[in-house]
Amino acid sequence: MNKLCLTVTCPSRRGIVAAISGFLAEQGCNIHDASQFDDIETGNFFMRMSFSSEAGKGLADLDAAFSELSKTFEMEHAFYDEAQKMRVVIMVSRFGHCLNDLLYRWRIGALPIEIVAVISNHMDYQKVVVNHDIPFHCIRVTPQNKAAAEAQIMAIVEETEAELVVLARYMQILSDEMCTKMSGRIINIHHSFLPSFKGANPYKQAFLRGVKLIGATSHYVTGDLDEGPIIEQDTVRVTHAQSADDYVSLGRDVEAAVLARAIHAHARRRSFLNGNKTVVFPASPGSYSSDRMG
C-alpha cells in the first residue's frame, strides 16, 4: 500500500479535524501521521495528514470525493502519493558545496526529489553534473541579456515539468516577474549575517567583528532580496581561535545542511506559506530514510 498525503489550508473554524478524519475513515483510509496548526493571528488553519488507502482508493477518487467537504470549509487542498518524487531544477554559480551535497543526498535517496536539470551561469560544474547523468545548461547572464536568460531558464523549468527551483548559491538576482510567476516554488540559501554584514566577504566581516555564531537561512524567494518566508535555519558556534577561513568552511557546512532540510520539508509537503512566514510541520516517521548508503 502506498503512503498518501493530504494537505489543507483554510480559514479556521470548528470541526475541520473531525470532518477530515471522518472523511478518510469513510473512504477506507488509515491515518499514520497528522500535524495541524491554527494561527490565531491570521485566522488560518493548516494541516498535513499521511495515510494509506486500505480500500485501494487512488488520488483522483479521493480528490473527487473530497470536493464537497473542501467547498464547505473553503479549503485549498491537495492529495499526493508520497512515493512520487518532486521534480527539481538546481541553479548554481561558482560555489559548489550545496550542489555537491544535494547530488550526494539525491544519489543515496536521502531526499525525495528527482533532479531533472542543473543550470549555471558558469561551466565549473558541467563535468560533475553530467557524470551524474543529469542535463547541464550553461546560461550566461549579463545586464544586457538578463530577460532573455530568464526566458531560457523558464523554458527549461517548463520543459522538464519541474515543481521546484533550488538556488544552490546561484549568485544572480532573479527578476520580480520570475519571482511572482514561481511564487512558493523557488528556494534560496544564504548566510544568516544579514542585515549586519552585506556585500562581499561577509564571513571576513564577521571574523573582524568577533562573531560567535555562524548561521544559514533557507527561504522562499520573493521580489524582496533575501527576505522571503523562512523555511529552515541553523547555527554553529565559533571562538576567537578560529580564522577567517575557518568561518568560511564552517559556513559552507551549515549552508548545505540547512538547504537540504528546507528542500526535504518542501518536497514532503510539510512547508506552508503563511503570509510573510511559513508553517513547517515535523517530518513523518521514516521520511528521512535512504534507499542506499553510498
Rounded Cα gap, residues 230 and 243, in angstroms: 29
**Per DSSP, which regions of 12-57 are E strands?**
29-39, 44-53
pLDDT value at residue 134? 98
Burial of 143 (0-12, 13-18, 19+ CB in 10 A): exposed
For 93, 172, 216, 258, 280, the CA distances from 204, given in Å and listed in that order, are: 20, 21, 15, 21, 32
Given a cut of 90, is residue 261 above it in pLDDT? yes
All cell numbers assigned to 163: 515543481
Mean pLDDT on 208-226? 91
Where does the chain have alpha helices with state H?
A: 16-26, 59-72, 97-107, 126-130, 146-159, 176-181, 202-208, 244-267
Stretch 13-40: mean pLDDT: 97
- Mean pLDDT over 56-83 rounds to 97
- The arithmetic mean of pLDDT across residues 57-75, rounded, is 97
With H, G, I as helix, E, B as strand and everything else as coil, classify residue 115.
strand
The grid coordinates of residue 183 equal: 511564487
Domain ranges of the chain: 3-81, 86-280
Q: Which of 33, 38, 63, 226 is catalytic?
A: 226
pLDDT band at 125 (very low <50, low <70, confident <90, very high): very high
Catalytic residue check, 226? yes
| pLDDT for residue 78 is more than 90 | yes
Q: Do domains 3-81 and 86-280 have the same CATH topology?
A: no
What was the pLDDT predicted at 281? Answer: 98
First-to-last alpha carbon distance for the chain, in angstroms, is 27
Give the pLDDT score at 196. 76
What is the signed CA dihedral for 160, 166, 171, 173, rounded to 10 degrees?
Answer: 80
157-190 per-position pLDDT tens digit: 999 999 999 999 999 999 999 999 999 999 999 9
**Residue-averaged pLDDT of the chain:** 94
What is the predicted pLDDT for the residue at 255?
Answer: 96
**CATH of segment(s) 86-280:** 3.40.50.170
CATH number of 3-81: 3.30.70.260
Amino acid 91: pLDDT: 98
Q: What percent of the chain has pLDDT over 90?
A: 87
The pLDDT-based confidence of 294 (bands split at 50, 70, 90) is: low
Respond yes or no on whether the N-terminal peptide bond of residue 195 is cis (omega within 30° of 0): yes
Can you tell me the mean pLDDT for 229-257? Answer: 95
pLDDT at 194: 62
In contact, 91 and 185? CB cutoff 8 Å: no
